[in-house]
Structure 1
Amino acid sequence: MINTEEFTQRLERVIRFYGESASSFAEKIGVQRSSISHILSGRNKPSLEFVLKILSAFPEVELYWLLNGKGSFPAKKEIKEQKILEPTPVSSEKIKKEAIAKAPENLPEEKIFSENENNKTIERIVVFYSDGTFKNYHN
């Protein structure tokens, strides 16, 4: 059985996270405004249908977190659903040219790609983007 008071606190957190009012939140999940009001006031307990509507409208909300407070919010869905790009064979020359083209102008070319005294070469470069995706280059 869920703790209604704690559920209410988590529901309020979800509503605040999305910058919604109780009224606009009710509209987005497809319930009457009074349903939200009654749950937030503790008058009613949330139904399974109510919980499922929240999960459907807001995929960042995890069921286990919403019901029990265990897990995280917002959920790290982007990590779980991240598309893993298949590595494509790319020549080290192509990687070097791309890196040089994108490098700041004040860095000399030889500082970007250099070989040390053991004659080591670059095997793999991984570029991480701000949207959580990445590109994997390897020789």
Structure 2
Amino acid sequence: MTATEPMLDSHPTDATIDPRVIAAAIDALADCAVICEQCADACMDEAEADQLRACIRLDLACADICHATAGVVARYAGIDPDLTRSLVDACVIACRLCAEECAMHAGTMRHCAICSEQTRRCAAACLDLLDAMS
């Protein structure tokens, strides 16, 4: 258990969603944002960085979307559920696109393999959250 779940449990507003599902999504989003930023940074230092532009752009877009989504999901009390769903949906799309792009380079670049796996985990955690919100 990370620090996220006890923090959610301490919130004075009763959650209509299982705090474990929310915590898992927040943690996956936060991890994914950092991993995507690190992958983009590593891609920029590769010898063929000019051929990795699409990967770098998707890494950075995914990181930004994950950061924003984690912040909104962490403040679930009082936030319009449609807004939250829209962000989580967008995050699933960003994670899938990033995972697919990184997978194309995973055979030769370990950082892309790690990023592809993390973005898939994040997409799965977001889908679990969307299911819990239904």
Q: Same fold (TM over 0.5)?
A: no
Larger radius of gyration: 1
Q: Compare relative contact order (CA 8 Å, sep 6+) and give the higher one, 1 or 2.
A: 2
- What TM-score does the superposition give when structure 1 sets the normalisation length? 0.31
Structure in which a larger fraction of residues adopt helix: 2
- What TM-score does the superposition give when structure 2 sets the normalisation length? 0.32
